[in-house]
């Protein structure tokens, strides 16, 4: 009797954790499991704002797949997914194809530009290890070139960050720490530098606790971050951005525009014929795609509605990891012939946003956290994930062990 074949597409939080849970819970002869990923590493998306600013080396965010996968139980295929042919139960890769009995779609996100003209062509985005290396190298080049520029163009030292959600705020928090170091290194007066955070909503961190939002904004403003709230980026050009607020336009010249204003599911999902909303599949309660008995969706490609407010849950790492646990349990139930699957129910244990070294804001249950206490909690959360993924050895190798 042939073993059923489980194919996992993507090694982000949802994909890698599904693979790790399967190898822990699955008997040796129960199923053949194949993990497909473009790179030979998993990276921590929630850390990418740090190497983008240059406050953390990009290699710290990378975890080699071979360090957490038991290749006696999981087959790793390094390749790029091109298309899912769900009618044929087949995945097309750049260098071949894979048949499956059960599929886990965990292909991650792409930046959502909301149709803003020129954004895709002229702005950087925080989306991968390679993308944040480019941002760091570009910013350092602009600072290094400033004093060699006869005109000393201010746009070299003007950084526009589009979006003041978690990624945007965490990125400007790191920039607030990094800019003084760059100024010292390249002999630049810090007063010459502008870091401008633009947000279309009427507040930074929309939906977050107002008291914590006020703390974060005040702290970052004291560190030199400028905020333009209730302001839209109307257009992004090679010279900078055109902003619009109350029908009044403003042009700001900048050589560095970084877009953090939204994400959508991987376009492969939409292009493969699944019904999607912004590239995300509205999954059933057991995390299966509607109409498919053998296709599960986790992470950024999964759209899950919060029944309490009829709004989608945000595609966070916390939820993706929890989805991986339910997805694993349901896959094993199907493999073992049990068709009564678990319902996925997110358990939001807390939310923490870093504001640079030693500073953060967050909520854990009903408790609000500020400053160094929140920063410590952020590191504990990061270390806990590493422990779940690879045990104490991975925490020692990649963790943020200095809590204070």
Backbone angles phi, psi at 311, to 5 degrees: -120, 155
Q: Write out the catalytic residue numbers.
A: 170
User: In angstroms, rounded to a whole number, what is the distance separating the alpha carbons of residues 132 and 51?
Assistant: 6
User: In angstroms, rounded to a whole number, what is the distance separating the alpha carbons of residues 288 and 300?
Assistant: 14
Q: What is the 3-state secondary structure (H, E, C) of 293-341?
A: CCEEECHHHEECEECCCCEECCCCHHHHHHHHHHHHHHHHHHHCCCCCC
Longest dimension (CA), the chain: 75
Helix (H) or strand (E) run with residue 51 in it: helix 49-53
177 CB neighbour count, 10 Å cutoff: 18
Backbone angles phi, psi at 168, to 5 degrees: -60, -45
Sequence-distant (6+) residues with CB within 8 A of 376 are: 403, 404
User: In angstroms, rounded to a whole number, what is the distance separating the alpha carbons of residues 46 and 44?
Assistant: 5
Q: Which of 296, 259, 264, 277 is nearest to 162 (CA)?
A: 259
């Amino acid at each position: 009797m042939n073993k059923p074949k489980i194919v996992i597409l993507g090694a982000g939080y949802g994909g890698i954790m599904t693979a790790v849970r399967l190898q822990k819970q699955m008997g040796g002869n129960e199923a053949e499991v194949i993990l497909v990923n473009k790179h030979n590493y998993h990276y921590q998306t929630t850390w990418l704002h740090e190497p983008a600013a240059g406050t953390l080396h990009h290699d710290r965010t990378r975890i080699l797949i071979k360090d957490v996968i038991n290749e006696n139980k999981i087959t790793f295929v390094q390749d790029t997914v091109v298309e899912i042919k769900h009618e044929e139960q087949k995945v097309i890769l750049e260098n071949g194809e894979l048949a499956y009995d059960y599929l886990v779609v965990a292909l991650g996100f792409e930046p959502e530009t909301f149709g803003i003209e020129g954004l895709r062509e002229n702005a950087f985005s925080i989306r991968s290890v390679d993308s944040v290396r480019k941002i760091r190298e570009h910013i350092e080049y602009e600072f290094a070139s400033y004093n060699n520029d006869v005109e000393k163009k201010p746009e070299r030292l003007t950084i526009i960050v589009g979006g003041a959600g978690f990624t945007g705020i965490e990125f400007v928090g790191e920039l607030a720490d990094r800019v003084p170091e760059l100024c010292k290194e390249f002999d630049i007066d810090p007063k010459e530098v502008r870091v401008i955070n633009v947000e279309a909503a009427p507040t930074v961190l929309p939906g977050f606790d107002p008291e914590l939002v006020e703390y974060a904004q005040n702290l970052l403003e004291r560190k030199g971050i400028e905020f333009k709230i209730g302001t839209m980026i109307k257009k992004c050009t090679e010279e900078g951005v055109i902003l619009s607020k109350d029908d009044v336009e403003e042009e700001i010249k900048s050589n560095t525009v970084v877009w953090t204003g939204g994400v959508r599911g991987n376009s492969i999902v939409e292009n493969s014929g699944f019904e999607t909303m912004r590239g995300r599949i509205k999954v059933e309660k057991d995390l299966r795609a509607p109409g498919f008995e053998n296709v599960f969706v986790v992470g950024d490609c999964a759209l899950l509605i919060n029944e309490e407010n009829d709004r989608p849950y945000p595609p966070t790492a916390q939820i993706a990891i929890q989805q991986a646990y339910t997805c694993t349990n349901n896959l094993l139930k199907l493999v073992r012939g049990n068709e009564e699957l678990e319902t996925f129910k997110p358990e939001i244990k807390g939310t923490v946003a870093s504001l640079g070294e030693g500073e953060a804001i967050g909520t854990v249950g009903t408790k609000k956290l500020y400053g160094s206490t929140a920063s410590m909690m952020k590191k504990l959360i990061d270390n806990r994930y590493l422990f779940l993924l690879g045990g104490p050895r991975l925490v020692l190798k990649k963790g943020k062990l200095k809590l204070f």
